[in-house]
Structure 1
Amino acid sequence: MKTNFDAEYDVVVIGGGGSGLSTAVQAAKNGLTCAVLEKEDKTGGSSSFAEGHAAFESDEQEKRGIKVSKTDAFNAYMNYSHWRANPSLVSRFVENAATTISKMRDEVGAVYEDVNITAPDQPGELVTWHLPQGEVARVIELLEADANRRGVDLFMSTSATKILKENGHIIGVKAIDADGEEVNLGAKAVVVGTGGYACNPEMINKYGKYNIGESLINAGGPGNTGDGIRMVLEVGGIENANVGTRLLFPLMRDKTITSHTNAAGFQPYLWVNKYGRRFVNEIVGLNFGDAGDVVASLPGAMYWSVLSQEAIRHLVEVGNEVGLGIYVHNYEKLINLPVEIKADAADNKRTNVFVADTIEELASKIEINPDVLKIEVDEYNKYCEAKQDKKFHKPAKYLYTIKEGPFYAIKMETGIMVTMGALEIDEYIRALDSKNNPIPGLYVVGCDAGGIYGESYTLPVPGSANGFALTSGWLAADDISKRIKSGELF
């Protein structure tokens, strides 16, 4: 039976984040009619929380004297993934990411203030983080304005529920509009960019290594519930081998990412697990993605950061060892820390910051055997005094004794920003079926797409998620335009 459509477009995009808007703007620029369906009441998704995006051999890097070749970038992705990433897709992204910078700047109006890295002491990090004025949230505003100017129909509070397929071809989308009415939109191509499944505990547990979906602290967009993934699978798409890739990081519950107490909690000082035992070389915290993976694997998916006055003075007077993007800058003096952490510890409703005059008393407050924690602290102090960590070989510059109280314990849990790598696509951004053939008219962009990463987010290439989101969007639109023009999509 022929489907009756309420409206028909060349392209329907599911998701109004960075990847979806990039698709829509490029499609309209290419002369195609386009609609964007966004289930939230505003555009942006998790892209609104990002600071910058990655590119290689861009003119913004060149004018700052920064040299990161496309070969460097390709090798970084492939080596970090242990060659589990898709070489063809990685190459396509690497070759085109610099064009994304030009498009966002020259065609949309973004202004790039800096190109930088996230952690100066992180070995091998590439200088790829292109930081626009107003962060990526400003790029989203500019893309939305450009989409409106070019005649793209943006439907907010409109949830796609089903991708429509007929005779092997994608023909449109079924959705529920802002008034709660069901609508059918016809399309020659459908592009899925719904941001992954970070807000779906069931999917987190299904695809991830650890059964922690219900306890994860979500720091990204609330709409990332895996809708697009489900819909693609329903029409014959398949999961990428690295479907469980997530960007995790240590985070305090009920604190903002600008909090100085939270920042103190991920500094590379003394971390102990829920049983009071030191478990890692804490410089893993210089790569917050690696640190997030470590925390997720711990009992209770958490650790306690134990701080003395020696460490607190250093953080206030000298500065931190590592920041959190632009929210807490690298080497920033945590001047709010003494007042904030004291107030946190005094808050009877808070269960993740405690203070005590002795280590034994602190251990009791955080429900750890006092003898166990005392032994760990005494051993750690010996390493600090000798300037040699014989247990985990942490560099001496991060060794601060724990002798001067009052002492604080900060509970750091597992936060999640986004998931990545869910669905199998080819280098043309087309969704693939179980026989590795493209599904005609179906494309997957941004964090719904797989192939750029292995098991972990490639943090040594900062800005990867948004770089791929913005780049995959316009690449998909160009491929759709070419195939509509040739008559392949109809």
Structure 2
Amino acid sequence: MREFDGDIVVVGGGAAGLAAAITAAEYGAKVIVLEKANTTGGCANMAMGLLGVETKLQKEHLIDLTRESAFKKFMNYTHWRSDAKLVKKYIDQSSETIEWLGEMGVEFALPSKYFPGSEATWHIIKPKTGNPGLRAAATMIKAMTERAEELGVTIMLETPVKNLIKDNGEIIGVTATDKEGELEVYAGAVIICAGGFGDSPEFIKKYTPYEWGKDLYSYRIPGLTGDGLQMAWDAGAGKDYMDMELVFFAPNTGGYAPIELPFRQPNLFVNLEGKRFYNEEVVENPVFSVNAIARQKNRVVFSIVDDKILKRYEENGLDLINVVTSSMDMSYFNQEMEEHMKNGSDVLFVADSIEELAKKTGIDKEGLSETMHQYNEACKTGIDKEFNKKQRYMKPIDGHKFYALKFAPSAYGSMGGIKINDKTEVVTEQAEAIPGLYAAGTDAYSICNPDYVFVLPGNSLGFAVNSGRMAGKNAVEHIKNLG
């Protein structure tokens, strides 16, 4: 059995793991990162930006959100289910973290809202080439990896950790494997940043209300199979709130695909019974929408438009856009629609009548016909007695061709599982700290409870980097106290 020694072992080389490793190394610790994949970054390579409050960039753009009001908004949104001390530390540190990343060469395009009703806390990362968008954070991961290596951090790729090593109640290292076989790494502290369970249908089915591929069509970053959670639980860690970071997409399209553009609008949404089920204005908030969708039969709904609405969007633009879709227009949709029609589609349906549309989608024909009649009558008056939707969104669906797109719950990844305190120490069910064990990022991401806090966008990556920094600093302090 080969043995290695360090001051701190970090399990996982994603955003949280790199932040923890860099921070610990900046305080003089000898750090070893063990990463399961053949590259660093994990799910952070898919991200766009991270939360910041009271940053220089916000002040330059006259965004006056304070830490105090952000904290209040966050806690009220979660109904105070979250660890208030941990949330406060996270928000208070977020501005400094943006500057910390900037010193590594990470540039930010703008602080953005996710949708009009949210706050401009989402600091979108500017990629080295191209426009800001999905996967922009890969640029940040590259800069963080280079910074870690510059500080002498040892990064061992394709080295999955198997277990924690515990001695007299204290965590003193880990066991792992690489291409050469088994190894042990001993250290004064271990920080778990393994990325959650988004690639584990078994974990999803067991610990959330969903079943992947049946009523959930989330991103699956290879290798994120709950390893970090399981090893922490085996070592005595308490289980904290677990769920998926829910949004809604057309199944198996990759999320925010161009085919969604005219359907992710405040038009008519119906369930399989052909009935409306919410005020479609809410479509701009992914969490509110998916909560409503999840209550419907088979957790499937359809957004319906006609050729007149499509033409209006082509001529005048969409009603709602967000930072993810702002770079797209209807030409993107038309191109993708042609592909769907040519190759066959199980999410996009086109028909010459409402009856034909019902047959193709599986929506109840009588229910849909009744809803269409009531909805078009309401559009004539501009008064939505059912859900009070704004008049400007009441567009009748009475054209010559009808289009429906299927939507279902999806998710960017998992949330939570390992119980930590505000010092990022892993704790038991009785809230007693396990000496030498820390957790950060997705594995400990239980602060968005019960919903992702979209009113303050940038939380997934923001919590990963900030909690990683906290864990790195706190682990170094723990080692100093040992000596």
Same fold (TM over 0.5): yes
Preserved contact between residue 168 and residue 439 of structure 1 (Cα < 8 Å): yes
2:435 is aligned to: 440
2:113 is aligned to: 117
Change (3 A) 1:288 1:430: same
- Superposition map of 1:210-225 within 5 A: 210-211=210-211, 214-225=214-225
Does 12-21 or 260-269 show the bigger shift? 260-269
Preserved contact between residue 425 and residue 451 of structure 1 (Cα < 8 Å): no
Residues 48-93 of structure 1: CA deviation (Å, up to 9, x unaligned): 1111111111122122221111111111111001110111111111
Preserved contact between residue 424 and residue 467 of structure 2 (Cα < 8 Å): yes
Deviation at 1:324, TM superposition (A): 5.2
Does 95-104 or 287-296 show the bigger shift? 287-296
| Identity rate, percent | 30
2:122 is the counterpart of 1:129: yes
2:422 is the counterpart of 1:427: yes
Cα distance in 2 between the residues matched to 1:214 and 1:7: 44
Deviation at 1:262, TM superposition (A): 2.2
Deviation at 1:451, TM superposition (A): 4.3
- Which of these residues, 286, 289, 292, is aligned with residue 287 of structure 2? 289
In the alignment, structure 2 segments of 5+ residues that lack a partner are 128-135
Change (3 A) 1:164 1:297: farther
- Which of these residues, 458, 475, 483, is aligned with residue 480 of structure 1? 475
Cα distance in 1 between the residues matched to 2:211 and 2:221: 21
Deviation at 1:34, TM superposition (A): 0.9
1:168 is aligned to: 169
Change (3 A) 1:5 1:435: farther
Question: What one-letter code is carried by the residue in structure 1 that aligns with 2:123?
Answer: H
Change (3 A) 1:337 1:405: farther
Preserved contact between residue 312 and residue 338 of structure 1 (Cα < 8 Å): no
Preserved contact between residue 81 and residue 449 of structure 2 (Cα < 8 Å): yes
Preserved contact between residue 316 and residue 337 of structure 1 (Cα < 8 Å): no
Q: Give SS of 2:91's match.
A: helix
Cα distance in 2 between the residues matched to 1:342 and 1:252: 16
Cα distance in 2 between the residues matched to 1:18 and 1:103: 14
- Superposition map of 1:7-406 within 5 A: 7-106=4-103, 108-120=104-116, 122=117, 125-134=118-127, 135-177=136-178, 179=179, 181-211=181-211, 214-240=214-240, 242-244=241-243, 246-323=244-321, 325-326=323-324, 328-329=325-326, 333-348=329-344, 350-406=345-401
Cα distance in 1 between the residues matched to 2:381 and 2:180: 67
Residues 449-471 of structure 1: CA deviation (Å, up to 9, x unaligned): 14422211101000011111111
Cα distance in 2 between the residues matched to 1:81 and 1:322: 26
Q: TM-score, normalised by structure 1?
A: 0.93
Change (3 A) 1:221 1:382: same
In the alignment, structure 1 segments of 5+ residues that lack a partner are none
Preserved contact between residue 268 and residue 282 of structure 1 (Cα < 8 Å): yes
Deviation at 1:105, TM superposition (A): 0.3
Preserved contact between residue 8 and residue 189 of structure 2 (Cα < 8 Å): yes
Question: What one-letter code is carried by the residue in structure 2 that aligns with 1:473?
Answer: G
| RMSD (CA atoms) | 1.8
Cα distance in 1 between the residues matched to 2:430 and 2:51: 32
Preserved contact between residue 204 and residue 213 of structure 1 (Cα < 8 Å): no
Q: Give SS of 1:238's match.
A: coil
Residues 177-208 of structure 1: CA deviation (Å, up to 9, x unaligned): 1x161111111111111122122222222222
Cα distance in 2 between the residues matched to 1:357 and 1:29: 65
Cα distance in 1 between the residues matched to 2:283 and 2:209: 20
Preserved contact between residue 424 and residue 450 of structure 1 (Cα < 8 Å): no
- Superposition map of 1:449-464 within 5 A: 449-464=444-459
Cα distance in 1 between the residues matched to 2:349 and 2:303: 11
Deviation at 1:128, TM superposition (A): 0.6
Question: What one-letter code is carried by the residue in structure 2 that aligns with 1:276?
Answer: G
Change (3 A) 1:369 1:268: same
Matched pairs, number:
475
Cα distance in 2 between the residues matched to 1:322 and 1:219: 24
Preserved contact between residue 255 and residue 262 of structure 1 (Cα < 8 Å): no
Cα distance in 2 between the residues matched to 1:255 and 1:323: 19
Deviation at 1:211, TM superposition (A): 4.6
Deviation at 1:258, TM superposition (A): 4.9
Deviation at 1:341, TM superposition (A): 2.0
Cα distance in 2 between the residues matched to 1:5 and 1:439: 26
Cα distance in 2 between the residues matched to 1:283 and 1:392: 10
Question: What one-letter code is carried by the residue in structure 2 that aligns with 1:137?
Answer: A
Q: Give SS of 1:218's match.
A: coil
Deviation at 1:19, TM superposition (A): 0.5
Preserved contact between residue 23 and residue 469 of structure 2 (Cα < 8 Å): yes
Change (3 A) 1:48 1:325: farther
Cα distance in 2 between the residues matched to 1:176 and 1:214: 34
Preserved contact between residue 61 and residue 115 of structure 1 (Cα < 8 Å): yes
Question: What one-letter code is carried by the residue in structure 2 that aligns with 1:153?
Answer: T
Cα distance in 1 between the residues matched to 2:340 and 2:3: 54
Preserved contact between residue 164 and residue 171 of structure 1 (Cα < 8 Å): yes
Q: TM-score, normalised by structure 2?
A: 0.94
Question: What one-letter code is carried by the residue in structure 1 that aligns with 2:254?
Answer: T
Cα distance in 2 between the residues matched to 1:452 and 1:277: 35
Preserved contact between residue 11 and residue 33 of structure 2 (Cα < 8 Å): yes
Preserved contact between residue 196 and residue 225 of structure 2 (Cα < 8 Å): yes
